[in-house]
Amino acid sequence: VMSTDRRPPPSLHFGQVVIGPPGSGKTTYCQGMQDFLTQLGRKVVVVNMDPANEGLPYSCAVDVSELVTLDDVMEGLSLGPNGGLLYCMEYVEANLDWLENKLKEHRDCYFLFDCPGQVELYTHQNSVKNIFSQLAKWNFRLAAVHLVDSHYCADPAKFISVLCTSLSTMLHVELPHVNLLSKMDLIEQYGKLAFNLDFYTEVMDLTYLLDHLAADPFFKKFKMLNEKLAEVIQDYSLVSFLPLNVQDKESMIQVLRAVDKANGCCFGNLEERNLQAMMSAAVGADFQFSTKSTLGVQERYLHTGERTVEEEMMDL
């Protein structure tokens, strides 16, 4: 006799894991996204996963500092900040039951995980990756939101380095990924961009950047290495960026569309979705972020002079 006991399917929890180098604006992003989502009517829970994060500007529902703090580890085990942070994340991985019990207290919520800023946690160390994998087993549908400072675009060498880090992170973390150029209002703080903004957001032909690098005597001797790095990035063809200014509502809308598409929230049950919204997500939630939108961001934050960068370089 077949059993007629049909249990309801386990509920899905949607959210974002916010990662990126130190100082890239992760905590500011979590605060801004929490306020933005609350205005949209979503019930938001922010989870601080950084044991070194002190003086949080947002209301934190789950704080990993209650389990372990970087200061205690550094003092008790005589470790430096880097080794101490690695130990902290290994300790969290070993005590996932604590995290599970904390998360169970919050149902029907959208989660923001504010993660540590140490780069090696996302490029080759496995603790954070294993934590994300366990969250997936608990029916969390997460997208990785990777923030990098936009002003790195002004330096070709730093931008190629950012591309390598982003690609390595995407391959290691194994989550749907959205890369953001943060602090767009400061993009030209350290120099003008050599090309239009869409060159950097869409990661177009990097050979043009290599030509700029070759003009620098220091990087000229590394020409072949830089060419191979550019080939790796373009062969994978995975890395692209969205511009972000947390204080700009339009920017936050574009980012949220991309993230909702990545983690499947647009097909979930958190909000009422009409057929048109679901179809737009199916064909590409970022489709509306067209060249026109990119030009709008460029006009807002980039100061175009009468002379191009190439003309100024010729004078030099």
Give the per-residue pLDDT at 213: 83
- 191 φ, ψ (degrees, to nearest 5): 145, 165
Taking the domains of the chain in order of start, what are their residue ranges? 13-205+239-267+292-315
CA distance 10 to 94: 25
pLDDT along the chain (316 residues), means of 10: 53 92 92 93 94 87 93 93 94 95 91 93 93 95 95 90 94 94 86 86 87 82 89 91 92 93 74 48 49 64 58 52
Q: Are residues 98 and 65 in contact, defined by beta-carbon separation less than 8 angstroms? A: no
CATH 1.10.287.1080 assigned to 13-205+239-267+292-315: no
Q: Are residues 69 and 51 in contact, defined by beta-carbon separation less than 8 angstroms? A: yes
CA distance 266 to 244: 21
Question: Which among 35, 38, 19, 44 is positioned nearest to 112, based on CA atoms?
Answer: 44
Give the per-residue pLDDT at 109: 92
Give the per-residue pLDDT at 182: 94
User: 98: how many CB neighbours lie within 10 A of its CB?
Assistant: 16
Give the per-residue pLDDT at 197: 87
User: Which residues are within 8 A (CB) of 15 and not within 5 positions of it... i.e. 6 or more apart?
Assistant: 110, 111, 112, 113, 140, 141, 142, 143, 263
Question: Which among 185, 177, 189, 175 is positioned nearest to 28, based on CA atoms?
Answer: 185
Cα-based distances in Å from 158 to 134, 149, 201: 34, 10, 15
Give the per-residue pLDDT at 71: 93
Matching residue, tokens 């300790």: 91
* Angle at 34 (CA atoms; ends 14, 268), nearest 5 degrees: 25
pTM for the full predicted model? 0.84
Q: Going along the chain, which residue ranges are E strands? A: 13-19, 44-48, 62-63, 110-114, 140-149, 177-182, 242-243
Matching residue, tokens 């059993």: 3
